[in-house]
Amino acid sequence: MPPATLKVFRGQAAQGDFREYRVDVDEGMVVLDVIHRIQATQAPDLACRWNCKAGKCGSCSAEVNGKPRLMCMTRMDIFEPGETISVAPIRTFPLIRDLVTDVSYNYVKAREVPPLRLRPPDADGKYRMMQEDVDRPQEFHKCIECFLCQDVCHVIRDHEEHKPAFAGPRFFIKIAGLDMHPLDTLNRTEFVRRQAGIGLCNITKCCTEVCPEHIHITDNGIIPMKERMADDFDPIVWLLRKFRGGRPEPA
Protein backbone atom coordinates (compact mmCIF):
# COMPACT_ATOMS: atom_id res chain seq x y z
CA MET A 1 0.00 0.00 0.00
CA PRO A 2 1.19 3.58 -0.59
CA PRO A 3 2.24 5.63 2.44
CA ALA A 4 -0.58 7.41 4.25
CA THR A 5 -0.85 10.94 5.53
CA LEU A 6 -2.35 11.38 8.98
CA LYS A 7 -3.26 14.57 10.76
CA VAL A 8 -3.02 13.74 14.43
CA PHE A 9 -4.07 16.06 17.22
CA ARG A 10 -1.10 16.88 19.43
CA GLY A 11 -1.01 18.89 22.60
CA GLN A 12 -2.74 19.65 25.85
CA ALA A 13 -5.92 21.47 26.73
CA ALA A 14 -4.52 24.99 26.58
CA GLN A 15 -2.70 24.64 23.30
CA GLY A 16 -2.86 21.93 20.71
CA ASP A 17 -3.12 21.47 16.99
CA PHE A 18 -3.06 18.86 14.25
CA ARG A 19 0.31 17.70 13.10
CA GLU A 20 0.91 15.82 9.86
CA TYR A 21 2.73 12.51 9.64
CA ARG A 22 3.57 10.46 6.57
CA VAL A 23 3.68 6.79 7.42
CA ASP A 24 4.25 3.54 5.54
CA VAL A 25 1.24 1.29 5.68
CA ASP A 26 1.20 -2.50 5.30
CA GLU A 27 -1.64 -4.71 4.26
CA GLY A 28 -4.36 -5.16 6.87
CA MET A 29 -3.23 -2.32 9.12
CA VAL A 30 -5.68 -0.44 11.27
CA VAL A 31 -5.44 3.18 12.41
CA LEU A 32 -4.04 2.08 15.79
CA ASP A 33 -1.16 0.28 14.02
CA VAL A 34 -0.33 3.50 12.21
CA ILE A 35 -0.40 5.48 15.46
CA HIS A 36 1.96 2.90 16.98
CA ARG A 37 4.26 3.24 14.00
CA ILE A 38 4.32 7.00 14.47
CA GLN A 39 5.22 6.47 18.12
CA ALA A 40 8.02 4.06 17.32
CA THR A 41 9.57 6.09 14.52
CA GLN A 42 8.58 9.76 14.66
CA ALA A 43 6.87 10.86 17.87
CA PRO A 44 7.75 8.65 20.86
CA ASP A 45 5.69 10.80 23.21
CA LEU A 46 2.45 10.63 21.19
CA ALA A 47 -0.17 9.74 23.81
CA CYS A 48 -2.92 7.23 23.12
CA ARG A 49 -4.69 4.45 25.01
CA TRP A 50 -5.01 0.86 23.87
CA ASN A 51 -4.98 -2.66 25.32
CA CYS A 52 -6.50 -5.50 23.33
CA LYS A 53 -6.11 -4.41 19.69
CA ALA A 54 -9.19 -6.48 18.90
CA GLY A 55 -12.22 -4.39 19.80
CA LYS A 56 -12.67 -5.98 23.20
CA CYS A 57 -11.47 -3.50 25.80
CA GLY A 58 -12.83 -0.17 24.60
CA SER A 59 -9.62 1.77 25.28
CA CYS A 60 -8.71 3.19 21.89
CA SER A 61 -11.68 5.47 21.19
CA ALA A 62 -10.96 8.49 19.00
CA GLU A 63 -12.57 10.60 16.30
CA VAL A 64 -11.26 9.47 12.96
CA ASN A 65 -12.18 11.87 10.17
CA GLY A 66 -14.64 13.33 12.65
CA LYS A 67 -16.34 10.03 13.36
CA PRO A 68 -16.19 8.38 16.80
CA ARG A 69 -14.53 4.99 16.32
CA LEU A 70 -12.26 2.38 17.85
CA MET A 71 -8.84 2.91 16.27
CA CYS A 72 -8.05 -0.79 16.50
CA MET A 73 -11.07 -1.75 14.42
CA THR A 74 -10.70 0.95 11.76
CA ARG A 75 -8.89 -0.48 8.79
CA MET A 76 -6.70 1.77 6.71
CA ASP A 77 -8.06 0.34 3.47
CA ILE A 78 -11.48 1.94 4.02
CA PHE A 79 -9.95 5.32 3.17
CA GLU A 80 -9.36 6.66 -0.32
CA PRO A 81 -5.73 6.38 -1.48
CA GLY A 82 -4.04 9.72 -0.87
CA GLU A 83 -6.75 10.89 1.51
CA THR A 84 -5.48 12.75 4.57
CA ILE A 85 -6.92 11.03 7.63
CA SER A 86 -7.53 13.06 10.75
CA VAL A 87 -7.29 11.50 14.18
CA ALA A 88 -8.55 13.52 17.13
CA PRO A 89 -9.37 12.75 20.75
CA ILE A 90 -13.02 12.21 21.68
CA ARG A 91 -14.39 15.67 22.29
CA THR A 92 -16.96 15.34 25.05
CA PHE A 93 -14.38 14.78 27.77
CA PRO A 94 -11.56 17.05 28.94
CA LEU A 95 -8.29 16.57 27.11
CA ILE A 96 -5.28 15.23 28.93
CA ARG A 97 -2.87 15.06 26.06
CA ASP A 98 -2.90 14.18 22.35
CA LEU A 99 -5.46 11.38 21.95
CA VAL A 100 -6.02 10.79 25.65
CA THR A 101 -8.98 12.32 27.48
CA ASP A 102 -10.14 12.38 31.06
CA VAL A 103 -13.10 10.00 31.08
CA SER A 104 -13.65 10.09 34.84
CA TYR A 105 -17.17 11.47 34.29
CA ASN A 106 -18.13 7.92 33.30
CA TYR A 107 -16.66 6.39 36.41
CA VAL A 108 -18.56 8.85 38.55
CA LYS A 109 -21.81 8.00 36.76
CA ALA A 110 -21.09 4.28 37.10
CA ARG A 111 -20.94 4.59 40.84
CA GLU A 112 -24.27 6.42 41.00
CA VAL A 113 -26.27 3.59 39.44
CA PRO A 114 -28.00 1.66 42.23
CA PRO A 115 -26.54 -1.86 42.05
CA LEU A 116 -28.25 -5.23 41.76
CA ARG A 117 -30.52 -6.14 44.64
CA LEU A 118 -30.70 -9.90 44.63
CA ARG A 119 -33.87 -11.92 45.06
CA PRO A 120 -33.74 -15.05 47.25
CA PRO A 121 -32.73 -18.30 45.53
CA ASP A 122 -35.02 -21.21 44.68
CA ALA A 123 -35.94 -23.66 47.45
CA ASP A 124 -32.84 -25.80 46.77
CA GLY A 125 -30.55 -22.80 47.11
CA LYS A 126 -29.96 -22.47 43.35
CA TYR A 127 -30.78 -19.66 40.98
CA ARG A 128 -32.47 -20.70 37.79
CA MET A 129 -32.78 -18.44 34.76
CA MET A 130 -33.94 -19.42 31.32
CA GLN A 131 -31.88 -18.45 28.28
CA GLU A 132 -34.90 -16.51 26.90
CA ASP A 133 -34.87 -14.40 30.05
CA VAL A 134 -31.19 -13.58 29.92
CA ASP A 135 -30.98 -12.93 26.17
CA ARG A 136 -32.15 -9.35 26.48
CA PRO A 137 -29.99 -8.16 29.37
CA GLN A 138 -27.04 -10.06 27.84
CA GLU A 139 -27.18 -7.68 24.89
CA PHE A 140 -26.38 -4.81 27.25
CA HIS A 141 -23.65 -6.77 28.98
CA LYS A 142 -21.72 -6.70 25.70
CA CYS A 143 -20.80 -3.08 26.40
CA ILE A 144 -17.01 -2.60 26.30
CA GLU A 145 -17.18 0.88 27.88
CA CYS A 146 -15.54 2.62 24.96
CA PHE A 147 -17.72 5.63 25.78
CA LEU A 148 -18.20 6.45 22.10
CA CYS A 149 -21.94 6.69 22.71
CA GLN A 150 -21.28 9.14 25.51
CA ASP A 151 -18.98 11.09 23.22
CA VAL A 152 -21.55 11.48 20.48
CA CYS A 153 -24.59 12.25 22.64
CA HIS A 154 -25.52 15.88 22.01
CA VAL A 155 -26.99 16.28 25.50
CA ILE A 156 -23.49 16.43 26.94
CA ARG A 157 -21.27 16.85 23.89
CA ASP A 158 -21.48 20.60 23.92
CA HIS A 159 -23.27 21.07 27.19
CA GLU A 160 -21.05 20.82 30.21
CA GLU A 161 -24.01 22.06 32.28
CA HIS A 162 -25.97 18.86 31.63
CA LYS A 163 -23.28 16.53 32.89
CA PRO A 164 -24.19 16.55 36.58
CA ALA A 165 -27.77 15.39 35.95
CA PHE A 166 -27.36 13.15 32.92
CA ALA A 167 -25.99 9.61 32.96
CA GLY A 168 -25.73 9.13 29.20
CA PRO A 169 -26.54 6.20 26.91
CA ARG A 170 -23.89 3.87 28.33
CA PHE A 171 -25.58 4.08 31.71
CA PHE A 172 -29.10 3.97 30.38
CA ILE A 173 -28.36 0.51 29.07
CA LYS A 174 -26.58 -0.37 32.30
CA ILE A 175 -29.81 0.48 34.13
CA ALA A 176 -31.93 -1.28 31.51
CA GLY A 177 -29.75 -4.37 31.95
CA LEU A 178 -30.33 -4.31 35.69
CA ASP A 179 -34.06 -3.79 35.25
CA MET A 180 -34.24 -6.79 32.92
CA HIS A 181 -32.01 -8.91 35.16
CA PRO A 182 -34.10 -11.90 36.26
CA LEU A 183 -32.64 -11.81 39.78
CA ASP A 184 -32.97 -8.08 40.46
CA THR A 185 -35.63 -6.63 42.77
CA LEU A 186 -34.90 -2.91 42.87
CA ASN A 187 -37.09 -0.20 41.37
CA ARG A 188 -34.83 2.42 39.74
CA THR A 189 -37.59 4.51 38.18
CA GLU A 190 -37.08 7.49 40.42
CA PHE A 191 -33.33 7.35 39.82
CA VAL A 192 -33.73 7.15 36.05
CA ARG A 193 -35.97 10.17 36.01
CA ARG A 194 -34.05 12.40 38.40
CA GLN A 195 -30.32 11.60 38.68
CA ALA A 196 -29.95 9.86 35.32
CA GLY A 197 -31.97 12.53 33.52
CA ILE A 198 -33.51 10.32 30.86
CA GLY A 199 -35.93 13.11 30.01
CA LEU A 200 -33.10 15.01 28.31
CA CYS A 201 -32.70 12.26 25.72
CA ASN A 202 -34.78 12.97 22.63
CA ILE A 203 -34.01 9.67 20.90
CA THR A 204 -31.77 10.93 18.13
CA LYS A 205 -30.16 7.45 18.04
CA CYS A 206 -26.68 8.83 17.44
CA CYS A 207 -25.46 6.63 20.28
CA THR A 208 -26.74 3.45 18.61
CA GLU A 209 -25.08 4.41 15.34
CA VAL A 210 -21.59 4.59 16.81
CA CYS A 211 -21.74 1.60 19.15
CA PRO A 212 -18.99 -0.81 18.03
CA GLU A 213 -20.79 -3.66 19.78
CA HIS A 214 -23.95 -2.95 17.77
CA ILE A 215 -26.03 -2.73 20.92
CA HIS A 216 -29.50 -1.38 20.17
CA ILE A 217 -29.10 1.29 22.79
CA THR A 218 -32.19 3.27 21.88
CA ASP A 219 -34.61 0.64 20.53
CA ASN A 220 -33.98 -2.02 23.16
CA GLY A 221 -32.79 0.12 26.07
CA ILE A 222 -33.87 3.73 26.17
CA ILE A 223 -37.26 3.60 24.42
CA PRO A 224 -38.74 0.75 26.46
CA MET A 225 -37.41 2.41 29.58
CA LYS A 226 -39.09 5.70 28.70
CA GLU A 227 -42.31 3.88 27.91
CA ARG A 228 -42.33 2.13 31.21
CA MET A 229 -41.68 5.27 33.19
CA ALA A 230 -45.36 6.14 33.52
CA ASP A 231 -46.44 2.69 34.71
CA ASP A 232 -43.49 2.27 36.94
CA PHE A 233 -44.43 5.20 39.06
CA ASP A 234 -47.18 2.99 40.33
CA PRO A 235 -45.28 0.58 42.57
CA ILE A 236 -47.97 -2.09 42.33
CA VAL A 237 -47.80 -2.20 38.56
CA TRP A 238 -44.00 -2.32 38.76
CA LEU A 239 -44.02 -5.23 41.16
CA LEU A 240 -46.52 -7.18 39.14
CA ARG A 241 -44.53 -6.76 35.96
CA LYS A 242 -41.28 -7.67 37.66
CA PHE A 243 -42.55 -10.84 39.26
CA ARG A 244 -44.84 -12.13 36.64
CA GLY A 245 -41.65 -12.12 34.62
CA GLY A 246 -43.69 -10.79 31.73
CA ARG A 247 -42.18 -7.65 30.35
CA PRO A 248 -43.61 -5.41 27.70
CA GLU A 249 -42.02 -6.08 24.34
CA PRO A 250 -39.72 -3.38 23.01
CA ALA A 251 -41.37 -1.00 20.61
Contacts with ligand FES by CB under 6 A lie at 50-53, 55-60, 70, 72
Within residues 41-100, the interface with another protein by CB under 8 A covers: 41, 44-59, 73, 75, 96-98, 100
HSE-CB at 114 with a 13 A cutoff on CA atoms is: 15
Residue 111: other Cβ atoms inside 10 A:
8
- The distance of closest approach from Cβ of residue 201 to another protein in the complex, given in angstroms and rounded to an integer, is 22
Residue 193: other Cβ atoms inside 10 A:
15
> 148: part of which helix (H) or strand (E)?
helix 148-152
Integer Cα distance of 226 and 241 in angstroms: 15
Encoded one letter per residue, x for contact with another protein by CB under 8 A and - for no contact, window 150-189 reads ----------------------------x--x-xx-----
**Of the candidates 115, 116, 92, which has an alpha carbon nearest to the alpha carbon of residue 104?**
92
Of the pair 106, 200, the CB lying nearest another protein is at 106
**Of the candidates 157, 160, 173, 247, which has an alpha carbon nearest to the alpha carbon of residue 208?**
173
Within residues 50-69, the interface with ligand SF4 by CB under 6 A covers: 58
Bridge partners for 7 per DSSP: 20, 86
Residues making contact with ligand SF4 (CB under 6 A):
58, 143-149, 152-155, 169-170, 173, 201-207, 210-213, 215, 217-218, 222
Q: Which residues bind another protein (CB under 8 A)?
A: 12, 26-30, 33, 39-41, 44-59, 73, 75, 96-98, 100, 102-103, 107, 110-111, 115-116, 118, 126-131, 134, 137-138, 141-145, 178, 181, 183-184
